[in-house]
Amino acid sequence: MVFRKASPFFLLLLSVLFLNNCRSDEQPLLYQITLQDWDGNSHKFSEDKGKLVVLDFWASWCEPCKKAVPVVEKLREKLKDSPAVVLGVNTEDDLSLEEIKKAASDFGMLYPSLLDPEWKLVTPLKIEGQPALFVFSKSGKKLHSQYGISEKDLPVLTGRLKNWLESP
């Protein structure tokens, strides 16, 4: 067997790639984001560490979002006694807070919603449409994402809750 001497550049590149993959101090993307709630309070996702996080991305103009909200409400109800948080994330930058609240009420949304008019979370997650459902593990790892949520999705989503709650 013949081995060639690796170039110093190749060894440096390999070392950098290896060390980048071994960094444990890097916070998951979700934990790097802070959004405002409807009362102007900061919601740091890093404070949700140890909880399953379910996010429903929505907008007032989104007709399919109206069908998604009841499904997310049912998931919230099933998760009420578990270490989980269910939140809406409104992405609009052209409505007043009162208009957003009215839309949420019209949709039947009872779970709290955060504001992301600057797309602080939408952009890094590469959200491509709405409604979008994203589920993150207790350690901030993305477990699930889907676009379009309807009543027919509820049995599958409900069936996954136990696994999601047990996921590290």
The pLDDT tens digits for 31-55 are: 999 999 999 999 999 999 999 999 9
Q: Answer with the residue of higher pLDDT: 34 or 19.
A: 34
Report the 10 Å Cβ neighbour count for 33: 18
Please tell me the pTM assigned to this model: 0.82
> Residue 8: which pLDDT band, with cuts at 50, 70 and 90?
low
Q: Which class for 41: exposed (0-12), middle (13-18), buried (19 or more C-beta within 10 A)?
A: exposed
